[in-house]
Chain A
Amino acid sequence: MENEKHHIVSYKTYTVILLVLIALTFISIGITNIELGSFAVTGALLLASVKSFLVLTYFMHLKYDKPYIILMVAFVFAVFLAVIIITFFDYFFR
């Protein structure tokens, strides 16, 4: 079996991603100090989603992987989201 050529990600890319991630962390700490009410949760989760997107894409190499692996990851997150939403069909309407 032939080994596929690996894409080598440069040190620089990783450093840039890390700096963005740290910046996003400080932003998320910052916005909790502003009175946003019910949007605070949404904001925090949105920033966390952006961060995890970066980790998945660059640190976990999804950007350089074959499409079917990306598809699998997206599928799993979608299933989990659907399960949460359906669970809340109970709690939200109780």
Chain B
Amino acid sequence: MSQVIHHDAHYDPEGSKIGMWLFIFTELLLFGGLFIVYAVYRYLNPEAFEMAAEELNVTIGAVNTIILLVSSMTIAMSTTALQKKQKGTTVVLLEITFMLALIFLINKYFEWGIKFEHGIFPGSEYMTSELSQGEILFYGLYFVMTGLHALHIVVGMVIMGVALHRIQKGTVHPERASLLENAGLYWHLVDLIWIFLFPLFYLIS
């Protein structure tokens, strides 16, 4: 589009950084709404939440926590590598981050799968007939919150894919690093949310 050309001509890294932060704020409040729901229902059903949480596997949760923390570090390092003009290292670090995200999702898949096998999923007969109301709420929130988080992982992977492509094409380079930096910021947000999800769901027994 001819009308766009001049806008690209002046590149404003600080502008896009603020833009990304503002977007992160909306994401924080999106999850914030869910944290409010969680807080209220945990306050109203403390015992049921503890009982239900015992079903969750702390080991898988901890492994996924560490995977996300490491991936946060690798994507942060990839920005450093780009700034140091080490294109190869940048790409490798970003690919590692991508693979870690994938492993996280695979773990999540098996974790959810086991729950489904035990008949624990929203609206299931087992849940409505056997479990208490507090437990139903716990699992409802567990699926919604980890599900939404997983969706953000997928989006983060897409953004990383775009960043990878543009780095290899050369349109993201040390002087125009905003896309990679913003991909990093977004990925740290995903990590940040998991930092709270992990203790709230896995560590309350």
Within the complex, are A and B direct neighbours (CB within 8 Å)?
A: yes
Query: Any chain A CB within 8 A of the CB of B192?
Result: yes
Query: Any chain A CB within 8 A of the CB of B203?
Result: yes
Q: Which of B13, B192, B204 contacts A52 (CB 8 A)?
A: B192
Nearest chain A CB to B60 CB, angstrom units: 12
Query: Any chain A CB within 8 A of the CB of B12?
Result: yes
Chain B residues whose C-beta falls within 8 Å of the C-beta of A25 in the assembled complex: 62, 65-66, 69, 198
Chain B residues with CB under 8 Å of chain A are: 10-14, 17-18, 21, 25, 28-29, 32, 35-36, 39-40, 43-44, 58, 62, 65-66, 69-70, 72-73, 76-77, 80, 83-84, 175, 177, 184-185, 188, 191-192, 195-196, 198-200, 203-205
User: Do A59 and B72 touch across chains, with their CB atoms under 8 A apart?
Assistant: yes
Contact flag A52-B70 (CB < 8 Å), given A87-B40, A91-B44: no
Contact flag A51-B195 (CB < 8 Å), given A14-B77, A25-B69: yes
Contact flag A45-B199 (CB < 8 Å), given A9-B76, A25-B65, A55-B192: yes
Contact flag A10-B195 (CB < 8 Å), given A32-B205, A84-B39, A91-B44: no
Q: Pick 14 A–B contacts, CB within 8 A, sort by A.
A: A1-B12, A4-B13, A6-B83, A14-B76, A15-B73, A25-B65, A48-B195, A48-B196, A48-B198, A51-B195, A60-B188, A69-B21, A73-B25, A87-B36
Q: Which of B12, B80, B191, B205 contacts A11 (CB 8 A)?
A: B80
User: Do B28 and A47 touch across chains, with their CB atoms under 8 A apart?
Assistant: no
Complex CA distance for A1 and B44, rounded to whole angstroms = 55
Interface size class of A (residues with CB under 8 A): 35 or more
Chain B residues whose C-beta falls within 8 Å of the C-beta of A65 in the assembled complex: 17
Chain A 8-25: CB-based contact to B (< 8 A → 1; otherwise 0)? 111100110110011001
Q: Classify the secondary structure of A's interface with B.
A: helix
User: Do A9 and B199 touch across chains, with their CB atoms under 8 A apart?
Assistant: no
Nearest chain B CB to A61 CB, angstrom units: 8
Chain A residues whose C-beta falls within 8 Å of the C-beta of B12 in the assembled complex: 1
User: Do A44 and B203 touch across chains, with their CB atoms under 8 A apart?
Assistant: yes
From B26, which residue of chain A is reached at the shortest CB distance? A76
Q: Which of A3, A21, A56, A88 contacts B43 (CB 8 A)?
A: A88
Chain B residues whose C-beta falls within 8 Å of the C-beta of A41 in the assembled complex: 204
User: Do A10 and B13 touch across chains, with their CB atoms under 8 A apart?
Assistant: no
User: Do B73 and A18 touch across chains, with their CB atoms under 8 A apart?
Assistant: yes
Query: Any chain B CB within 8 A of the CB of A39?
Result: no
From B93, which residue of chain A is reached at the shortest CB distance? A11
Complex CA distance for A40 and B46, rounded to whole angstroms = 12
